[in-house]
A = this chain, B = another copy of it.
Amino acid sequence: MTQVQTEFKLGSMRCRNRVWVASGTFGYGDECLDLVDVNKIGAIVTKSLSMKPRDGNPPPRVVETTGGMINSIGLANIGVDRFLEEKAPFLKTLDTAVIVNIAASTIEEYRAVLERIEAAECCHAYEINVSCPNVKEGGLSFGTNVRMTAEITRELRPLTGKPIIIKLTPNVTSVSEFARAVEDEGADAVSLINTLVGMSVDVKTRRPKISTTTGGLSGPAIKPVALAKVYETVKSVSIPVIGIGGITSVNDALEFLITGAEVVEIGTANYINPNVAVEIAEGIELFCREQNIENAADIIGTLQTDQTISVVKSWM
């Protein structure tokens, strides 16, 4: 069989393959060069950047749970200035797509960060992390308010011709409502899921295991939830859906593609093996070759559900 087609295009961005590394789980792309040929990754999504550097939360910031981990990093990042100075020049030398993930506590800050990065021409797309506390509304997350999520998209859309991906939070009743809202405002894609709100307690000390009491749950434990949210979303929008959550193997990634995700992002699994995205990308290629699939795109959305089972017959 001839070469398997693995390329993915989103507007002006071309990615070698459909396996990306998720924000906050691969630093700024220059930390693991000993372990990974980063040019084999479909796209590198940076740690969330805010305008000013952020120290992040007090320790402890991470704790392992069954099949997962909770984190409370507090968006620790080096800020736009240092990013442009210290990281962007290296990222520009790469032969892979770079997606800057943006976090902010006001809409103005989202705008300002995007404008600075856009002016520096150092990336191929933006991923907007809306799971950030909105300081103007008492710290409630932008991402759990559909109006605010739409507004961020509306404000950012005119500022760039590059693709804008809105990264949705799963901590809402209906994630597809959010996906539709940002699609209407011109988002090029949605990525999901960000972490689930989770908590763990140290019974000996009677204190939470992370300093902020609750944090974000990630890892294989949440994969079923992520897959269900992706399934809900692909049925509701026509822009590409990027699947994230608990992916550690080729099989996991294929589950998301079959369900309808155009791309997957690998998060927590990078902590165990920073080369895992490359290995998964190669595994998907092998799967295609074995199954005589010419283009990885042909896997996407091929889930066969039983139509005779009515919707009202819910699973409860």
Contact = CB atoms under 8 A, between A and B. Distances in A.
Given A200-B255, A309-B212, A68 B132 contact: no
Interface in A287-316: 302-306, 309, 311-316
Interface stretch (A38-46, A70-78, A85-93, A109-117): A70-78
A211 to B, nearest CB: 6
Q: Which among A144, A217, A227 has the highest number of chain B CB atoms within 10 Å?
A: A227
Interface size class on chain A is 35 or more
Tell me the number of copies of this protein.
Answer: 2
A82 interface: no
A230 to B, nearest CB: 8
A210 interface: yes
A131 B213 CA distance: 28
Given A66-B223, A67-B66, A133 B206 contact: no
Contacts of A196: 224-225
Interface in A50-103: 57-58, 65-68, 70-75, 103
A173 interface: yes
A116 to B, nearest CB: 21
Contacts of A207: 303-306
22 contacts: A57-B309, A57-B315, A66-B223, A129-B316, A131-B316, A132-B316, A139-B311, A171-B173, A198-B228, A199-B227, A200-B224, A200-B255, A201-B303, A208-B303, A210-B315, A211-B306, A212-B314, A212-B315, A213-B306, A213-B309, A221-B222, A221-B224
Interface of A: 48, 57-58, 65-68, 70-75, 103, 129, 131-133, 135, 138-139, 141, 144, 171-174, 194, 196-201, 203, 205-208, 210-217, 219-225, 227-229, 231, 246, 251, 254-255, 258-259, 302-306, 309, 311-316
